[in-house]
Amino acid sequence: MKLMTTATAALFALALPALAEGTFPPQHWASNSGIVDVQPNGSVWENENAVDALRIQEAFNRWGIFYDEGRSDLIPSLFTEDGKVVSTLGSAEPIAENQGYEAIAAYVDRSLESQLDQRRHAMSDFLIDELTETTAKATAYGTVIKAADGISVGALVIYTGDLVKGEDGVWKFQTLTIGIDDYAGNLAN
């Protein structure tokens, strides 16, 4: 029995690379393409500002909820005046790029018009990889659940944000990159 288990494990280990070749998206695509640049644990906590960390996380959460509730009127509150949203699909190559309040809100409206279901963005795994008094680079995962006569996964996403802290203490995206691993349905640009 032990020999059979060892042989099975060896076969599985040899087959894994072959199974991964040719899949979409390629494994580790976000890091390999430079969309994500994670840092060692504890590397950004020199100023230890937990309130800033929570407010940065809130910006990501509000993106998901504003989108899910069709509140494109609130989307501009998440961005600097020259803010930008860049969407990619399994690579660093943009499939959509929208800059400025109006363009970002219109992008959200177009996306929502093409989706006839209810979306729920489940944001998780927040990392802050750079943090100063007024700037931050952060990453989060998103699982987008679709509800339409049943439940299914709509997309798996890695979000990266370059954020700026305003004089009012509110963190806003200067750039929000939506790195979609894969997507179920049609993408509106």
- Average per-residue pLDDT for the chain: 86
Mean pLDDT of the 171-188 span:
86
pTM > 0.85: no
Domains and CATH numbers, the chain: 47-183 (3.10.450.50)
Q: Is the pLDDT of residue 12 over 50?
A: no
| pLDDT for the residue numbered 38 | 81
What's the pLDDT tens digit per position in 29-61? Answer: 888 888 888 877 766 666 568 889 999 999 999
The residues pairing with 90 across neighbouring beta strands, listed in sequence order, are none
Q: Residue 78 in contact with residue 98, Cβ under 8 Å?
A: no
In this prediction, residues 144-149 reach a mean pLDDT of: 92
